[in-house]
Amino acid sequence: MQWPTHAGALLRSVFGAALRQGVCSTGLARCGDCPLLRSCAYPAIFETPPQPTQFAQRFSQPPNPYVIEPPPELQGAQPAGALVFHMVLVGEATQRQLPLVVSAWQRALRAGLGQARVTGHLLAVDTVDAAGLVRPAFDFTLHKTAAILPGIDLKALSLPGSDTGSGVLLQFGTPLRLQHESQPLRPQQLTPRIFVSHLLRRTNLMMDLHLGIRPASFDVPTLLALADELADNRNRLHWHDMQRYSARQRQELPQSGVVGHWPWYGPVTQLLPWLLFGQWLHLGKGATSGLGGYQVLPLKPAGEP
C-alpha cells in the first residue's frame, strides 16, 4: 500500500464515499438539495448541515461529530499487515450509528484504498476510554454494538505527574493550521490566548450541536484572561509543509501547519480539562482527518532534558 503524506485524508475520503453509498436513497449529487437532508445519517455524521446555534454568528461549515486519527508513521510504502487507527465519535446520536460506521469501513476496505485499490477487511472494533482502557465495541457475529460507548468525564480528566500550577507542554503530532482572515498562523504568530480561543469555540460548537449542552459549562472570558497570563516558548515549534490532492476539486490543497513542542508556563489548572478534552477533538483546518492533533504532557522542571 502506498500511503500519502497524510493518511488521514485518504481514510476520510474513502469512509465518506462508502458511508454515502450505503445510506443515500435519492442519488442526488448534492446533499443540500435533498429533501432527506435533516433525517439522513450521512450528513448527520459526515457533513453536518448549517443549523441555528446559540451564537449570533452563522456557521456555513459546522464541525462534524467525528475525527479520524491515523498512526503518525503511516506514510509511503507499507507492507501488507494489520493497521490500527482511531476514530472519535462525538455525541450519543453519533455513537448510536456505530453499526453504520462499521459497515461503511467494511465497504471502503472491500472497494480498496489508494490508486492501486489495495483491499482489506475489518478485524476488530474496540473502544478506548479516557483512561486508555480498551474493550470490544462491536460484535461481528451479531452485527451490533457490543457495549455502550463510554463518554469522557471532564471532571475525571487529569494529567499524572504534573503540577498544573507550573504549566504544561503541548506536543503537536500533526500540523496545526489555525487561520486568521483566511491566512494560516505561523509559529511566532501563535499565543496561548489564540490557541485557547480556537479550542473553546470548537468545543462550544461540538457541545451545542452534538452533545446537547447549551450553554457550555465554561466561562470564555475567564479562561481567555487566564491564557493571557501564561508565558510560552515557541522556539521548539516549526512550520511543516504538506499538501494533499483533492479528487473532487482536482487540485493540490495546502495542509501545512505548525508541529513540535510548545511549553506554557504558569497556572493552567482551570484550562487543563479543556486542553485535555481537545486532544480528542483536534483543532484547526483538517481536524476531522487527524490534523491539529496534540498531546498534553507534564512540564518538566527547569534543568531536565
Q: In the chain, where are the structural domains located?
A: 2-145, 158-298
Q: Which of 58-67, 206-215, 226-235 tops mean pLDDT?
A: 226-235
What confidence tens digit (pLDDT) does each residue in 15-47 have?
A: 999 999 999 989 888 888 888 888 899 999 999
pLDDT of 71 over the 90 cut: no
Percent of the chain with pLDDT over 70: 91
**Cis? peptide before 215, omega within 30° of 0:** yes
What confidence tens digit (pLDDT) does each residue in 103-113 have?
A: 999 999 999 99
> What is d(CA 305, CA 300) in angstroms, rounded to the nearest whole number?
8
Per-residue confidence (pLDDT) for residue 301, from 0 to 100? 61
Mean pLDDT, residues 93-106 taken together: 95
- pLDDT, greater one: 58 or 147: 147
Using alpha carbons only, give the angle 92, 96, 99 rounded to the nearest 5 degrees: 150
230 near 278, Cβ under 8 Å? no
What confidence tens digit (pLDDT) does each residue in 146-205 have?
A: 877 777 887 778 787 656 668 999 999 999 999 988 899 999 999 999 999 999 999 999
- pLDDT, greater one: 163 or 100: 100
pLDDT of 217 over the 70 cut: yes
Per-residue confidence (pLDDT) for residue 305, from 0 to 100? 46
Q: What is the CATH number of domain 158-298?
A: 3.30.70.1900
